[in-house]
Amino acid sequence: MQRNTLVRLLSIILLASSFTMTAKEPSKDSTQGGETKADRKQEVKDYVAHHLLDSHDFGLFSYTDDATGEVHHVGFPLPVILWDDGLKVFSSSKFHHGETVAEVDGNYYKIDHAKIYKTDASGTLTYDEEGHATNPKPLDLSITKGVFMMLVTSILMILLFRGLARSYAKNGGIAKGAGRFFEPIITYIRDDIAIANIGPVKYKKYMPFLLTVFFFIWFLNMFGLTPLGVNVTGNIAITTALAIIVFVITTFTGTKDYWLHIVDPLGDGMPWYGKIPIYIILVPIEILGIFIKPFALLIRLYANMTAGHVVLGSLIGLIYIFQNWIGGTLSFGLAFAISLIEILVALLQAYIFTMLAALYFGFASETHEHHDEHEGEIAHL
């Protein structure tokens, strides 16, 4: 218990340090020029908004040279892959963290709010009334910061569970090393999520996905709480993709009884002429529920993880707004408490997503016993 507490404390300190190093420090000139609290609030707001966005380079932190006022970024570039009248592949270092225009094969590209637009040599962008760039956008297939972390998480999971499988094979079904920590979690997912919601007969075909999605979301959530500052599950595109996979599996593994319940929810207990008025309302609701279920999955995960990052970033940003030891101490204390809660939320959101997915799979794989009995009677006759 003491070791876990120490690890959490070190993680929170590193996270706070990450925000400290990454936040734009006001230069001496701007401070002397009368920097107001409103300016610092806007600075924190812009930083939190920037933290929630994906990026085409992996930035660890940045700092400002007090002597020159120049901002130095520490990190590494990622490959940019565009389709614009052909395949364009180049390093994101050409953008210089969004400060310059990248020239590739006679075409010019510029980053604005983490999106790449086609422009001219001077980097001209036009905007509509809502402040959105109207320049043409090439098809972006780049390895962004979020994609990079998903690849890292996938490789980590492959190595982890491959090692767990090997330890089972070598030690007669007994886990060794890190497997001792993950084995009870896997058993819990099997017994209390998969079997409990899907049933002991059909749960096995859903287990690979349930295990994968649980650890995938959990690991990404935990990476988001480290100084790496990767907000992958706070990206609605990622949660939408996960929800679509659940929707596809539910739809294509649905049994006859599952679809019959949707189109005929009242069953045979009422004559057809009595069902029509009710079905005019009930059947559209059942059909709408097919799409509402995955939508609820993606919104729940996206909203909870985004809210956690916004709250944590805002609390740490209060240190720069107050700029005194009382406000800084209170802000750090609140940020530490929220960070501990976020560690629980990271696991809880992975659990909820997996639990609801298993519940939907259980609905899709349902079979009514009376149908089986009826078929048996017909066969006997």
- Asked whether the whole model's pTM tops 0.75, one would answer yes
Give the C-alpha separation, 235 to 178, whole Å: 30
Give the C-alpha separation, 175 to 223, whole Å: 25
pLDDT in tens, the chain (381 residues): 454 545 445 554 444 444 444 444 443 344 444 566 677 777 777 777 767 778 888 877 776 777 776 777 777 889 999 999 889 999 988 988 778 899 998 899 999 888 899 999 888 899 888 888 899 999 999 999 999 999 999 999 999 888 888 888 887 777 777 778 888 999 999 999 999 999 999 999 999 999 999 999 999 999 888 877 688 998 899 999 999 999 999 999 988 888 888 887 776 666 666 667 777 888 888 889 899 999 999 999 999 988 888 888 888 777 777 777 777 788 888 888 888 888 899 999 999 999 999 999 999 988 765 444 444 433 443
- Listed by start position, the domains of the chain span 79-142, 147-375
Q: How much is the pLDDT for 294?
A: 93
Give the C-alpha separation, 103 to 121, whole Å: 8
Q: How much is the pLDDT for 267?
A: 67
Strand partners, 140: 82
Give the C-alpha separation, 21 to 41, whole Å: 17
